[in-house]
């Protein structure tokens, strides 16, 4: 049910998290949300920190600005002592196939909105309405297929990444588009899915993640995403605190 006017998108995927100017600020808010005593995270040791870079999908379609910032960030972290390893992650490609009919988002959003859509469809943004209405064609079997595939892929991904302290990738593979670039429907859908893609992977795999700025002053914003383990927020925040320091002190 909605709380204070906030509507759910997909309860299987919805989560909350902090926004802040530093990892320490985010850790403080995260502790409050978790009901723990607020305390700044003790940074993990950078020396030997194992950061796995997915060798597939997450850099597809990446623009030149993001590519430069991402590679620069990897170089900075490597110089600070981290071990950067390229790791094939076939689960990412499977997730795209599993969600081809709409996935949790379409099915669960349609279940909540269907009565309102029947009565007041004209009040919805047409692009958002179209995405929600994909759930109308999904069957119970389709939904269960997604549910079962998620459990299987989580188990597989946990094994594949067990030697990584964190997975690292661009948060979004492109810088923010111009409004004019989104006017044509097909191009809007392509860009929208590209922007959502990388963060949606961790969401589907029930992983915690954090995005740190890695662009230079005056450049379009670029985020560096660190993905931790399921329920591994505290460990991820310690790793993020370690990563934040060399990124902030890197030559500009």
> Among 58-62, 155-159, 199-203, 246-250, which stretch is predicted with the lowest mean pLDDT?
246-250
CB contact at 8 A, 145 and 196? no
112 inside domain: yes
Q: How many structural domains comprise the chain?
A: 1
5 occurs within a structural domain: no
- Flag whether 125 is in a domain: yes
User: How confident is the model over 145-192, as pLDDT tens digits?
Assistant: 999 999 999 999 999 999 999 999 999 999 999 999 999 999 999 999
Asked if residue 222 is part of any domain, the answer here is yes
> What is the tens place of the pLDDT at every residue in 22-60?
999 999 999 999 899 998 999 999 999 999 999 999 999
- Looking at residues 213-242, what average pLDDT do you find? 96
Q: Is residue 235 part of a domain?
A: yes
- CATH number for 114: 3.90.1300.10
90-99 pLDDT tens trace: 999 999 999 9
What is the mean predicted confidence (pLDDT) over 184-210? 96
User: Would residue 49 count as lying in a domain?
Assistant: yes
Range of the domain at 199: 23-247
Q: What is the pLDDT of residues 98-155, one digit of tens each?
A: 999 999 999 999 999 999 999 999 999 999 999 999 999 999 999 999 999 999 999 9
How many angstroms separate the CA atoms of 47 and 206, rounded? 28
| DSSP codes of every residue in 200-243 | HHHHHTT--EEEEE-PPTTSPP-EEEEE--TT-HHHHHHHHHHH
Would 64 be classed as within a structural domain? yes
Looking at the domain assignment, is residue 92 inside a domain? yes
């Amino acid at each position: 049910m909605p709380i204070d006017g906030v509507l759910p998108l997909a309860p299987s995927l919805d989560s909350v998290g902090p926004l802040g100017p530093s990892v320490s600020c985010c850790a403080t808010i995260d502790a409050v949300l978790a009901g723990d005593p607020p305390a700044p995270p003790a940074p993990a040791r950078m020396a030997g920190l194992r950061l796995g870079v997915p060798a597939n999908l997450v850099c597809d379609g990446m623009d030149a600005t993001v590519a430069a910032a991402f590679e620069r960030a990897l170089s900075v972290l490597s110089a600070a002592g981290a071990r950067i390893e390229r790791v094939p992650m076939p689960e990412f490609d499977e997730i795209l196939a599993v969600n081809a009919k709409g996935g949790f988002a379409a099915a669960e959003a349609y279940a909540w909105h269907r009565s309102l859509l029947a009565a007041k469809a004209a009040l919805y943004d047409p692009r958002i309405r179209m995405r929600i209405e994909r759930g109308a064609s999904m069957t119970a079997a389709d939904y269960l297929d997604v549910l079962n595939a998620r459990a299987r892929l989580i188990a597989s991904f946990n094994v594949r990444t067990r030697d990584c302290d964190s997975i690292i990738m661009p948060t979004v593979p492109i810088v923010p588009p111009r409004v004019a670039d989104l006017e044509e429907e097909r191009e809007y859908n392509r860009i929208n899915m590209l922007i959502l893609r990388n963060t949606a992977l961790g969401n589907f795999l029930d992983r915690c993640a954090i995005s740190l700025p890695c662009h230079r002053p005056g450049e379009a914003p670029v985020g560096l995403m660190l993905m931790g383990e399921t329920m591994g927020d505290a460990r991820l925040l310690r790793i993020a605190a370690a990563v934040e320091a060399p990124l902030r002190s890197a030559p500009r």
